[in-house]
């Protein structure tokens, strides 16, 4: 399954890098990171904002992904005990819907 990088415009996450519950956030972040040479005005640029929580923070990891059409998905990764596969599956599904809508518009 591939990520629809062309439809993603922003990524916001807050997680503790040491928490096992944060694994999906860390892995999705590693898949989304854009090169520093990419211009912010290019269509492939993804705005990434990460808040790193302290090691023993009671706050659970979460991430919000914004798409080019204005839709946002919020994943409460820690609260819902989500795996990386769950997050990637949902991102792929929404990305395919957005790509289909864009292709129908012409």
Residues 26-78 have pLDDT tens digits of 999 988 866 555 677 776 788 999 999 998 889 999 999 999 889 999 999 98
Model confidence at 3, pLDDT cuts 50, 70, 90, reads confident
CB 45, CB 82: distance < 8 Å: no
CB 44, CB 8: distance < 8 Å: no
For residue 22, give its domain range: 5-105
CATH number at residue 14: 3.40.30.10
pTM given for the model: 0.85
Average pLDDT score over residue span 3-16: 89
- pLDDT score of 85 more than 70: yes
Helix (H, G, I), strand (E, B) or coil at 21: helix
- pLDDT confidence of residue 6: 83
User: Number of folded domains in the chain?
Assistant: 1
């Amino acid at each position: 399954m591939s990520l629809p990088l062309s439809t993603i415009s922003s990524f916001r996450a807050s997680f503790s890098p040491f928490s096992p519950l944060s694994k999906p956030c860390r892995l999705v972040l590693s898949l989304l990171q854009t090169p520093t040479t990419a211009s912010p005005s290019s269509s492939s640029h993804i705005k990434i904002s990460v808040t790193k929580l302290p090691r023993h923070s009671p706050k659970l990891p979460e991430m919000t992904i914004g798409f080019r059409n204005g839709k946002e998905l919020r994943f409460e990764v820690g609260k819902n005990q989500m795996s990386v596969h769950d997050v990637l599956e949902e991102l792929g599904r929404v990305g395919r819907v957005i790509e289909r809508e864009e292709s129908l518009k012409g």
